[in-house]
Amino acid sequence: MKCRRCTAKATVQLRSHNSAFCRQCFIFFFQRSVERAIERERMFTREEPVLVAVSGGKDSLALWDALTALGYATEGVYLGLGIGDYSVESQRKVEAYAERTGLPLRVVRLEEENDGLGVTEAAAFTRREPCSACGTFKRHYFDRAALAGGFAVLATGHNLDDEAARLLGNVLHWQLPYLATQRPVLTPTHPKFARKVRPLYRTSEYETAAYAFLRGIDYVVAECPNSHGATQLVYKELLNRLELSMPGSKLAFVNDFLRHAQPLFTAAPENDPGECKRCGMPARAELCGYCRLVAEIERRRAVRTVAHS
């Protein structure tokens, strides 16, 4: 198999693009794809510093690497979720990457912020799914990190497969409010929020994994232990079976949704958010989602303490 650009021996095969590339040309192709997505959706400019949420996985580290290579001003933020050895390894990989590249990194650890509570304990106390508590923590701490650092842009490593799986889930259950907000750029609804962008929304998981591998990025290969049996993985499996028979289906599904269908879904009119009485971050109720979760944990902890005394 030969490289589409230079005809050298190919090392990366992209069925969805009916193409193959050598190492050097694939890295060029990947970075150019990211740049095109940023420009097409007017995500940010080279004059705007970007805070990149990095987990230690292939997607976020590949994103951070590509943005830096493209000349964007970036800083990483890592959120330690308190998920045992998985979080320990994730933090180690992110810190090693930042040290090797000399890129600035902020580290926030949930156990230090939340009275010793990580995702696992929070889920156990509230009987929520760990992914639900995790999402609430991530939104809050990434928003806070962007605000504290004065960043107008917060980038995450959600890829094409993530977007296609999310779209399939939203369509299967006709989640109209979610379909109305499924876009690669979310405009802030409050001055304390950053613009949230997903520059990898057209880039498949295979592409981000191949990019990370070929760039020598040491990422966490292990999956989050809480992801076992996750619905999103079922959707991804279905979509990958479809992709095998009809290459390009995932990209067309997401692309055509954004181009033709997404604008037809409009979010229900809501007042602009106020501010949380407890933490001061934007909130549509008296407390933001994060503070409601923390209050629930505190209530249940108190009940448990009384019961054990």
Options 27, 146, 179, 210; binder of another protein; rule CB under 8 A: 210
294 contacts another protein (rule: CB under 8 A): no
Q: Please name the residue ranges forming H helices in 1-129.
A: 23-40, 58-69, 84-101, 110-113, 119-126
Using CB under 8 A, which of the segments 38-46, 106-114, 229-237, 298-306 binds another protein?
229-237
Would you say 153 or 214 has its CB closer to another protein? 214
In this complex, which beta carbon is closest to another protein, that of residue 209 or of residue 276?
A: 209
Cβ closest to another protein, residue 151 vs residue 183:
183
Identify the DSSP state of 309: -
Q: In degrees, to the nearest 5, what angle opens at C-alpha 231 toward C-alphas 228 and 232?
A: 95
Binding of another protein by 233 (CB under 8 A): yes
**CB closer to another protein out of 189 and 227:** 227
State both tokens at 265: 């879904």
| SS3 call for 223 | coil
Q: How far is the CB of 205 from another protein (least distance, A)?
A: 5
CA dist., res. 210 & res. 199, Å (int): 17
Q: Could you tell me which of 72, 9, 31, 16 has the C-alpha nearest to residue 211?
A: 31
Among the listed residues 219, 206, 213, 132, the one whose alpha carbon sits nearest the alpha carbon of residue 164: 206
The least distance separating another protein from the CB of residue 163, rounded to whole angstroms, comes to: 11
Which residues are paired to 27 by β-bridges?
none
Determine, following the binding rule CB under 8 A, whether residue 291 of this chain makes contact with another protein: no
CB-wise, 12 or 63, nearer to another protein?
A: 12
Residues 151-180 binding another protein (CB under 8 A) are: 161-162, 165-166
> Tokens at residue 67, please?
């943005």
Q: Using the rule CB under 8 A, is 203 a contact of another protein?
A: no
Question: What would the two tokens of residue 158 be?
Answer: 């959600």
DSSP 106: E
Of the two residues 102 and 229, which places its CB atom closer to another protein in the complex?
229
Regarding 224 and contact with another protein (CB under 8 A), the answer is: yes
Closest separation in Å from C-beta 65 to another protein: 16
- The CA distance from 79 to 47, in Å, is 26
Q: Which helix H or strand E contains 252, and what residues bound it?
A: helix 249-256
Interface residues toward another protein, by CB under 8 A? 1, 10-13, 15-16, 20, 57-59, 129, 131-132, 134-135, 161-162, 165-166, 204-206, 208-210, 213-214, 221-224, 226-227, 229-233, 236-237, 240-241, 243-244
